[in-house]
Amino acid sequence: MDDDGWPILRPTRLTIHRTSPLDAKDRQIIMSLDGKRLVTLLYGQTHTSEIPPGPHTLRANNTLVWKTVRFDAAPGEDVHYTCTNRAPGSLLYLLVVFGVGPMYVTLTPGAPGA
Examine residue 56 and state whether it is found in any structural domain, yes or no. yes
Q: Which residues of the chain have pLDDT under 50?
A: none
pLDDT score, position 95: 52
Rounded distance, CA 20 to CA 56, Å? 23
Examine residue 7 and state whether it is found in any structural domain, yes or no. no
Residue pair 102/81 in contact by the 8 Å Cβ criterion: no
CATH number reported for the structural domain that contains residue 48 in this entry = 2.60.40
Examine residue 4 and state whether it is found in any structural domain, yes or no. no
Examine residue 79 and state whether it is found in any structural domain, yes or no. yes
**Chain segment 58-70, per-residue pLDDT in tens:** 999 998 889 999 9
Residue pair 73/10 in contact by the 8 Å Cβ criterion: no
Range of the domain at 93: 13-109
Examine residue 6 and state whether it is found in any structural domain, yes or no. no
Examine residue 94 and state whether it is found in any structural domain, yes or no. yes
pLDDT score, position 103: 77
Q: Could you tell me which residues come within 8 angstroms of residue 79 by beta carbon, excluding any fewer than 6 positions away?
A: 12, 13, 14, 15, 51, 71, 73, 109
Q: Residue 76 carries which DSSP code? A: T
Count of the separate structural domains present in the chain: 1
3-class state of residue 26 by DSSP: coil
Examine residue 38 and state whether it is found in any structural domain, yes or no. yes
Residue pair 106/23 in contact by the 8 Å Cβ criterion: no
